Structure 1
Amino acid sequence: MPYNKKIFFLILMISISTSLAIFCKMDRKSNADLVKTEFSKDLSALQENINNQLLNAAKNKDENGIKKAFLQARLKYKEIEFYIEYFFPTTAGLLNGAPIDEIELGENLVKNPSGFQVMEELVYNVPNQENRSELLNEIKKMKLNLERVSRFNDEYEITDAQIFDAIRLEILRITSLGITGFDAPVALNSLPEAVAALGGIKKVLTVYDEEASGEKIDQSIHFIQRTSSFDEFDRIGFTTDYLQPLGSEIAKLRKRLNIPTAASGAALREGTVSLFETNAFDVDKFVGNSTMFISNEKISLGKSLFDEVMLSKNLDRSCQSCHHQSMAFTDGLVRPLGISKGKVLDRNTPTLSYAGLQRGFFYDLKAGSLEDQALDVIHQKEEMGGSLEQAAQRINTSGKYQKAMKNAYKDDSEATPWKIQHALAAYIRSLSPFSSRLDRYMRGDRSQLSTIEKTGYNLFMGKAKCGSCHFAPLFNGTQSPMFIKSEAEVLGVPAKADTAHAKIDSDLGRFGLYQYPQFKYAFKTPTLRNISKTAPYMHNGVYQTLEQVVDFYNRGGGAGIGISLDNQTLSGDQLKLNKSEIKSIVAFLTTLDDES
């Protein structure tokens, strides 16, 4: 072959090889794109179930077919829950939100619930024309919401970091919600659904590494599947021996692949893989802006102000007058005493423990921040009767606070009402030590809990359904794993501890602020941490012991003791806990006490 032809042929081959390499590279999808494609396929399978099997069964009034298709749809949803909750959180609320009205106070808007949890109540109710018509309507709404997900997903660009963050949060969601019956309280199908959620995670991880974490997921699934029933499931063992190690294993894989953490909207630190690990929470994520961030100097100043009588009108009260540290910052009274002689305030003194890790304050959630709470208490006529302006003037005449103010706020200005509010709030935000025996047990010290206490945890998170409102690990009404909203519930709390002739307590709760029927007798769900130190219980201090409280829930709340409320959010069904089970739950609750 002539020399020129050889050169031409060589150049041609190089050009073809280069073109093929570029084409193949362009054609090869990233791992994130592969996950997105798999999600689209799984979403289509869910849509097929909703659009055909469930809809047709409902139209044909095939009751067995309805239940079968509904349970299948739930499992398919759980496989992709991690993705929908992360990338479409608003739509996730429409697909699987709580079956109660959502009230937007700023917009004066009442949003009716929709999705699987609403369907579940309809599916498992005795069928009649009305609820089957409602079910058809819910199916049609779900069709539209799934179409919205499909349409927007096509436009999204997602990253590896986001995918691993979504998986991380799903593991935490299973820990706190997925194995409690939270979103399947009637069907009690939570355990098969947890299996489906883990299977969805495994499918994703296989894209990144075919063998990574697969064995641990398989072991987790096998542990669930060998359980005989929902009530008998060992939730604490599953969490410590399977879910937490799985979360750590996935975090190691992410690091090995050099995938960074993602800045999600959760109030957890970005690297948190266990709800019970030390410093799992970033307290600054519970506040509105950087001016409210915590610091050691602000905490120190706030602690001094917490004990300071200069905040009160008559120089005779401080915050600690009603919030004693030895009682987990409560006062041990049924209801606290006011300033005026013989005056008793309306509601039991709430604990300040873990108050910084919630989204609403006071029993009626009237304050949106701890700063607002401090303002209200100091100015409230019968609590401190003071004035922040006056308090600032007093503090500025005291040499004690000049240096502390400067250290806390890094300026030469004097005390102001805002600085007083914020310093107090910073101190209260520091009152979340996570030093209980349960915390130490969950971190690996298996000597911390007894058999009865572990049984109590399993009952609390399972049969007794306590964990469906008091969400782990805060055990308050701020839902894991995002921690973006604090809930209120209507329990039907009686005026007196009388189960024979029970009458509803006269306090209307949130309804006193906002006249929505749904808010009548609604009160914030408080934390149960340090609960053994904070008797008496409920907003009116009606119960003196934890045994009484558990008995109230065991009976079905107000509905179970003869109080009729159309808007009770607590299930009126009896829990059917025996004396031994109640004893176990109370024993578990004592493990939530912080220890120095």
Structure 2
Amino acid sequence: MPRLKKTVFFAALITFATLLSIFCKMENRSNAELVKTDFDQQLASFQDAIEKKLLKAVLQRNEKEIKQSFLQTRAKYKRLEYYIEYFFPSTSALLNGAPIDEIELGENLIEQPTGFQVMEGIIYEQPTKENRAELLNEVKKMQLNLQRMSRFNEQYQITDAQLFDAMRLEIFRITSLGITGFDTPDALQSIPETASALRGIADVIAIYEPASTDKTVSSAIAYLDKQPNFNNFDRLTFITDYLDPISKYISSLRLARKIPTVASGSALHDDAISMFQTNAFNVDKFVGNSTQFINNDKVALGKALFNDAVLSNGANRSCTSCHHQSLAFTDGLSKATGISKGEPLLRNTPTLTYAGLQRGFFYDLKAGTLEDQALDVVHQKQEMNGSLTQAAAKINSSKTYFSLFQKAYEDKSGKADAWKIQHALASYIRSLAPFNSRFDRYMRGDKKQLNADEKKGFNLFMGKAKCGSCHFAPLFNGTQAPLFSKSEAEVLGVPSTTDTIKPKIDQDLGRYALYAYPQYKYSFKTSTLRNIKKTAPYMHNGVYKNLTQVMDFYNRGGGIGLGIPVENQTLSADRLNLSKLEIEQIIAFLGTLDDLP
């Protein structure tokens, strides 16, 4: 054989062997590896769109193209959201985090927001030389963050269990955040962006079940495509008839493939299919360590202590003095009263129902755990003026408490101490979350529980009124799904009186009194709306006597909408333009959140 022919022959043979090797490797790759490869390819397309479309439009100051390319690139992000949020949570905050400063109290560090939500705020305001320079800087920062994420992803080894958990949590994220306008308050692109997020889920399912004829996800996308209008979208139907079935399908596929659950970062049980199912939450994930885990004996002990005046100085005041069970553990007063007769305390008494399912306590979030809250209240001079150490000494002379402590802590001595008292009280409060409202029953399949106005009220709450973008379903407090790892506070600009002619800001400084950051001035925890009909009056100062007044405040745009100059207000100052009927429907829905006997 001539030398040239030999060379060509061997070159062809080597090429064939190489291609065969590559093909075999591709054939032998796991589904998780295929998903990772698909992510890499889509990430590259995402980066390419940032560079060739969004960056180019910003440099050319082409306003129409800026908006179009912005929406296109964020749609690409949404398709990858399930993966980025799960495997790169810190980077996801830089790509699409809330447009507010993040303050690290322990490190005295203020992190400026960046990413799509910041871009949106800039793009949808009147263009200026300054804000377009800021927008350019944001785009460049996003490019760097994506490059870094791409490098890190090369080193990752992901598992089937993680991917199924990521999909599960993405469905919950869509339910609570995606369809509410939480991360697109100006563009109001929640509906088409939800379709993009579901296409990302469909990409994964197609790899694990390539021959599937199931239409669960495609039907949901089709439903979204038919109802693109933000204000008119039927979110209640979408959750119950489309999102929940997708979640069930993902779970059935995982079980069919014999893929185990993974220890999730969410406070939901690792195998929870719906956030609205019975016992969806793992209460123990809201406590610090295994010594604090809840059990029935601790709850019984905590209830006894909660109702006992032994914790107060003088034994004349118990927790029930301010927290009445018939009022969802509030007191019906604008502000709580102290030990001195008629002496008002600083703030309104909050409900204790569902209090255990949050990450911060008191209106100013000064306590990080329920145990810390109990310690503070017992020792606070105006509230109970007591001592846990002294209370323990008194309790240890009681035969009844001896038995209760012995059972609760499996301690033969039956002795009480300050920590056990704190923890028992916290355990009882953590048990006050029955999820037994008409709304809960509806979400579990009993469609007779809500009437037409209540359904409309839910859709307004989660959409046009934007209530759900701060009071996150299913807890309807400021603890954000799907991880439930942080409880939010907001600056609303709450007035001192109901005077709308010459309104003045309430002088309570909120979190600012503890930490003197300008961002914290007048900042208060976002409380739960569960059992809201039982817990009037409302706001931290009890200024509003009924929900109609509360809704009028929000409808006007909070403090700024009333005419109060609140420089750091986090609530949108834009009017909601809700009609009287729409307000009534929202209030009707809120009534469905009251727990039933």
Secondary structure of 1:523's aligned partner: strand
How do 1:185-584 and structure 2 match up within 5 A? 185-212=185-212, 214-227=214-227, 229-413=229-413, 414-584=415-585
In 1, the alpha carbon distance for the partners of 2:485 and 2:268 equals: 11
- Quote how far apart the aligned CAs of 1:438 are: 0.4
Amino acid at match of 1:412: K
- Quote how far apart the aligned CAs of 1:213 are: 7.2
Query: Cα deviations across residues 287-345 of structure 1 (Å, max 9, x unaligned)?
Result: 11111110001000000000010000011100011000100000000111111234210
Matched, 1:31 2:37: no
In 1, the alpha carbon distance for the partners of 2:432 and 2:248 equals: 27
- Quote how far apart the aligned CAs of 1:148 are: 1.2
How do 1:60-99 and structure 2 match up within 5 A? 60-99=60-99
Contact 1:277 1:443 in 2 (8 A): yes
- Quote how far apart the aligned CAs of 1:26 are: 8.1
Query: Cα deviations across residues 156-186 of structure 1 (Å, max 9, x unaligned)?
Result: 0000000010000001111111111000000
Amino acid at match of 1:454: K
In 2, the alpha carbon distance for the partners of 1:219 and 1:534 equals: 41
In 1, the alpha carbon distance for the partners of 2:32 and 2:366 equals: 43
- Quote how far apart the aligned CAs of 1:217 are: 0.8
CA RMSD of aligned residues (A): 1.4
The TM-score, its normalising length taken from structure 2, stands at 0.95
- Quote how far apart the aligned CAs of 1:228 are: 5.1
Secondary structure of 2:215's aligned partner: helix
In 2, the alpha carbon distance for the partners of 1:557 and 1:195 equals: 32
Amino acid at match of 2:458: Y
Secondary structure of 1:49's aligned partner: helix
The TM-score, its normalising length taken from structure 1, stands at 0.96
- Quote how far apart the aligned CAs of 1:118 are: 0.3
Amino acid at match of 1:586: I
In 1, the alpha carbon distance for the partners of 2:24 and 2:206 equals: 22
Query: Cα deviations across residues 213-232 of structure 1 (Å, max 9, x unaligned)?
Result: 75111110111111151100
Amino acid at match of 2:151: R
Secondary structure of 2:421's aligned partner: helix
Amino acid at match of 1:476: N
In 2, the alpha carbon distance for the partners of 1:26 and 1:229 equals: 43
Amino acid at match of 2:504: K
- Quote how far apart the aligned CAs of 1:21 are: 11
- Quote how far apart the aligned CAs of 1:510 are: 0.1
Q: Which residue of 2 aligns with 1:128?
A: 128
In 1, the alpha carbon distance for the partners of 2:336 and 2:36 equals: 56
Amino acid at match of 2:277: E
Using the aligned pairs only, state the percent identity: 64
In 1, the alpha carbon distance for the partners of 2:526 and 2:500 equals: 22
Contact 2:191 2:228 in 1 (8 A): no
Amino acid at match of 1:222: A
Amino acid at match of 2:291: T
Secondary structure of 2:356's aligned partner: helix
Poorly superposed stretches of 4+, deviation over 6 Å: 20-23
Contact 2:317 2:384 in 1 (8 A): yes
- Quote how far apart the aligned CAs of 1:212 are: 3.8
- Quote how far apart the aligned CAs of 1:412 are: 2.4
Amino acid at match of 1:531: I
Amino acid at match of 2:184: A
Secondary structure of 1:357's aligned partner: coil
Count of residue pairs the alignment pairs up: 578
Amino acid at match of 1:554: N
